[in-house]
Amino acid sequence: MGRKDKRWVLQRKRDPYYQLAKKSNYRSRAVYKLLQLNEKFKVIKEGDVVVDLGCAPGGWLQAVRSIVGDRGFVVGVDLQSVKPLGYDNVITIKGDMTRRETLEKILSYLPSKADVVVSDASPNISGVWDVDHSRSVELTTVALIVATNLLKEGGNFVVKVFQGNLFNDYVDLVRNYFKKVYISKPRASRDSSAEVYVIGKKFLGKNFDMNLDSPILTLVKECPLCIDKKEEKEDKNRCKGKNIKLTLEGGRGSLIKKIKEMRKGS
C-alpha cells in the first residue's frame, strides 16, 4: 500500500461520518449529506415518489427510503448492479441514464410522475481538475435533462456538482426550470472536497430546451436524450436496450401490487 493510500485509510478511520455510517449499517457516509440537505431544504417527504440517478452503492437509496417510508416509492438507476435493500417499494435499474430506453424504463415503473429526483453521481476521476470539472457538469446536466422528463410540476431536484469555471453557468441553467434554486455544502461533505449541491425547488413543468443560450449545452449535444427520436431509431447501434437490468425487490408481483395501491390512493 502506497503512502497516499495509507493516509486515505487513516483519514477514513478518523472520519466521524464514516464511523457513524458503519455503526448504522449504511452503505455510504453520503447518507448524511442527503439527510442534512433534506433537513434544511425539505425536498423529500413521507409518501413521495423519488428517483435516484447514479444510486450505487445504495447509500442515498437508504436515506430516501428512510424518509418516504412504506407509503413512498423509490427507483434507483446506475451502471453498476446494486444490492437490494430489502423493501417492496424500492426498485433498481441497471442502465445508462443517458439512454432514452433507460428513461422509458424508469417511467414505465413509476406509479406517477416523480415528486423528487436526486443524484449524487460522480464522473470517473482523472486527476486533471479541468477535465474532472467538465465531466461533472456534463453528468449533472444529463441528470437535469432526465429530471425534466420525470418530475411532476412543483417537484424538487437535488444534484451534486464540482465547483469550477462552469459552475455558475450550470446554476443559471437550473434556474430555467425551477422557481427556487439553492446552493449548499452539507456538514458531512469533507472540507477538502470541491463538491457542492444544487437544489431546485418547485419544478416549472418545462421541457428541456437545447436551444437556450448556455455554454453548458455544448457538453451534452451528443447525449442520446438530446437527439431526435427519429434519428435515434435510425442509428441501430445506439439503442438496443441490452444493458438494462431491473432488480425488483420483493418480486414483480409485489411491485405491480404496490403501484396499483398507490394509484388508488392518489
Catalytic residue among 160, 206, 257, 260: 160
Q: How far is CA 158 from the centre of its chain?
A: 7
C-beta separation of 249 from 84 below 8 A: yes
What SS3 class is residue 198?
A: strand
Res 242: pLDDT: 45
- Based on the structure, what is the number of domains in the chain? 1
What SS3 class is residue 232?
A: helix
Res 230: pLDDT: 42
Does residue 37 sit within a domain?
Answer: yes
Residue 264 — pLDDT band, cuts 50, 70, 90? low
Give one DSSP letter per residue of 126-186, joined into a string.
Answer: -S-HHHHHHHHHHHHHHHHHHHHHHEEEEEEEEEEEE-STTHHHHHHHHHTTEEEEEEE--
Return d(Cα 135, Cα 123) in angstroms, integer: 6
Query: Is 60 annotated as belonging to a binding site?
Result: yes
Of 23-27, 148-152, 154-158, 247-251, which gets the smallest average pLDDT?
247-251
Residues 6+ apart with CB under 8 A from 108: none
Does residue 25 sit within a domain?
Answer: no
Parent domain of 257: 32-265
The yes-or-no verdict on residue 30 having pLDDT over 80 is: yes
Verify whether residue 160 is a known catalytic residue.
yes
For 136: left if phi > 0, alpha if psi spans -120 to 50, otherwise beta; the answer is alpha
Of 188, 196, 160, nearest to 20 (Cα)? 188
Res 1: pLDDT: 46
H or E segment to which residue 99 belongs? none
Query: Is 129 annotated as belonging to a binding site?
Result: no
Pairing of strands 49-53, 195-203: unpaired
C-beta separation of 50 from 116 below 8 A: yes
CA torsion 36-26-197-203 (nearest 10°) is -80
Does residue 18 sit within a domain?
Answer: no
pLDDT tens digit string along 217-247?
999 988 888 875 444 444 444 444 444 555 5
Residue 182 is placed in which grid cell? 439553492
Return d(Cα 159, Cα 173) in angstroms, integer: 13
Does residue 3 sit within a domain?
Answer: no
Does residue 12 sit within a domain?
Answer: no
The yes-or-no verdict on residue 14 having pLDDT over 70 is: no
Measured at the CA of 107, the angle between CA 90 and CA 26, to 5 degrees, comes to 25
Provide the whole-model pTM.
Answer: 0.84
Which comes out higher in pLDDT, residue 2 or 140? 140
Residues 6+ apart with CB under 8 A from 239: 99, 100, 101, 224, 232, 233
Mean pLDDT of the chain: 85
Does residue 5 sit within a domain?
Answer: no
Return d(Cα 8, Cα 2) in angstroms, integer: 10
Does residue 19 sit within a domain?
Answer: no
Does residue 135 sit within a domain?
Answer: yes
Res 244: pLDDT: 57
CA dihedral sign, ordered 28, 134, 116, 55: negative
Alpha helices in the chain (DSSP H): 3-14, 16-23, 31-41, 59-68, 100-109, 129-150, 167-175, 229-234, 252-265
Query: Is 88 annotated as belonging to a binding site?
Result: no
- Domain with residue 84: its CATH number is 3.40.50.150
What SS3 class is residue 193?
A: coil
Return d(Cα 20, Cα 226) in angstroms, integer: 41
Query: Is 78 annotated as belonging to a binding site?
Result: yes
